[in-house]
Chains A and B, each alone.
Chain A
Amino acid sequence: DAGVTQSPTHLIKTRGQQVTLRCSPKSGHDTVSWYQQALGQGPQFIFQYYEEEERQRGNFPDRFSGHQFPNYSSELNVNALLLGDSALYLCASSLILLSYSGANVLTFGAGSRLTVL
């Protein structure tokens, strides 16, 4: 089982540019969530996708958008990059049924490290 895979591992962008990060969920999972982890902080929830729709969203501006494909994989897009967007972006997958049980055990990928110069 490959678990959650993310690409690219590292990337460097300049202010104002746009970036797309990709995620393949763990086999059998149908829900993908994205988190931003700034240096020295815990992961912060960006949004969650299920059935190709955004189901929940955290306190992130509209510059952050996403997509889920029929095979459950997902993309995170960030437009008009700011220096403050530099962070580790984590993708996590889960099964929607377990989400409602309260034991929301997410499986995380290793992340994409974004540096904005």
Chain B
Amino acid sequence: DQQVKQNSPSLSVQEGRISILNCDYTNSMFDYFLWYKKYPAEGPTFLISISSIKDKNEDGRFTVFLNKSAKHLSLHIVPSQPGDSAVYFCADAGGTSYGKLTFGQGTILTVHP
């Protein structure tokens, strides 16, 4: 089974600086990776995704990088804003089970003004 791990439970960043959130996975199938953001008392909301045939995908302040040899992906937020403070989950959409997402444990991002 695919495993997705976010080894940093929390990250604290100053407003305007870069936030880097990391995620590791185990299987090397053709996969789609997604990042979700969750505020308290709300459901996770989709942020950005990347196909495993790409190395980078960018959307405004958010960029996701995929290092297939290291089985590692990262989400960069530049510049970070206090409204970005939330829990961030990386998720794998799977090579054969597109209906199922496998989530990491999440990283709590706090952006200080």
A interface list, Cβ under 8 A from B: 4, 31, 33, 35, 40-45, 48, 50, 55-56, 58, 90, 92, 94, 96, 99-111
Contact check, B43 vs A45: say whether CB atoms are below 8 A apart: no
Question: In the assembled complex, which residues on chain B have CB atoms less than 8 Å from the CB atom of A56?
Answer: 97, 99-100
Name the CB-closest residue of A to B45: A108
Query: CB distance B103 to A43 under 8 Å?
Result: yes
Smallest beta-carbon distance B38→chain A, Å: 8
Binding site for A on B (CB under 8 A): 4, 6, 9, 30-32, 34, 36, 41-46, 49, 51, 89, 91, 93, 97-106
14 A-B pairs (CB sep. < 8 Å) = A4-B43, A35-B103, A42-B4, A42-B6, A43-B89, A56-B99, A99-B99, A102-B93, A103-B32, A105-B34, A105-B46, A106-B46, A108-B43, A108-B44
- Contacting pair A90 B99 (CB below 8 A): no
Output the residue of A44, A48, A104 with the most chain B CB within 10 A.
A104
The answer to whether B101 and A104 have CB atoms under 8 Å apart is: yes
* Least Cβ–Cβ distance between B8 and chain A, in angstroms: 13
> Contacts A99-B99, A102-B98; is A42 near B32 (CB within 8 Å)?
no
CA separation between A110 and B98, bound complex, in Å? 22
Residues on B with C-beta less than 8 A from A42 are: 4, 6, 89, 91, 103-106
Listed from nearest, the 6 A-B pairs whose CB atoms lie closest are A108-B43, A42-B103, A102-B32, A104-B93, A99-B98, A48-B99
Contact A104 B103 (CB under 8 A): no
Measured CB to CB, the nearest residue on chain A to B50 is A103
Determine if A105 and B49 form an interchain contact, defined as CB atoms under 8 angstroms apart.
yes
Contact A44 B34 (CB under 8 A): no
What would 19 more interface pairs be, CB under 8 Å, given A31-B99, A92-B43?
A: A40-B106, A42-B4, A42-B103, A42-B104, A42-B105, A48-B99, A55-B99, A56-B100, A58-B100, A94-B99, A99-B99, A101-B98, A102-B31, A102-B32, A103-B49, A104-B101, A105-B46, A106-B101, A108-B45
Q: In whole angstroms, how far apart are the Cα atoms of A35 and B104 in the complex?
A: 13
